[in-house]
């Protein structure tokens, strides 16, 4: 049996991979939101804030690179 992504163009296979990742991320956010009684928007805002905070720490040398 041939893998479905092997028969598609690389661009189409990448698109499918991106869609699966997006669906997985959405399911994870929905799960976290329901466990804590929050909205998905609140989870997304928290994630963006954490990324910004970690980026600042990395730029200012407060986080070791590659660990």
Q: Is residue 64 part of a domain?
A: no
Q: Is residue 4 part of a domain?
A: no
Structurally, the chain folds into a number of domains equal to: 1
Q: Is residue 15 part of a domain?
A: yes
Q: Is residue 19 part of a domain?
A: yes
Q: Is residue 27 part of a domain?
A: yes
Taking the CA atoms of the chain, what radius of gyration do you get in angstroms? 17
Range of the domain at 52: 10-59
Q: Is residue 66 part of a domain?
A: no
Q: List the chain pLDDT tens, one digit each, 67 residues.
A: 333 444 455 555 555 667 777 888 889 989 999 999 999 999 999 999 999 999 999 888 887 766 5
Q: Is residue 65 part of a domain?
A: no
Task: State the DSSP string of 1-67.
Answer: ---GGGGS-HHHHHHHHHHHHHHHHHHHHHHHHHHHT--HHHHHHHHHHHHHHHHHHHHTT-S-TT-
């Amino acid at each position: 049996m041939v893998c479905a992504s092997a028969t598609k163009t690389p661009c189409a296979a990448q698109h499918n991979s991106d869609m699966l990742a997006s669906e997985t991320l959405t399911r994870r956010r929905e799960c976290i939101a329901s466990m804590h009684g929050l909205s998905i928007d609140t989870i997304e805002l928290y994630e963006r804030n954490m990324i910004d905070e970690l980026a600042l720490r990395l730029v200012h040398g407060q986080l070791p690179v590659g660990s």
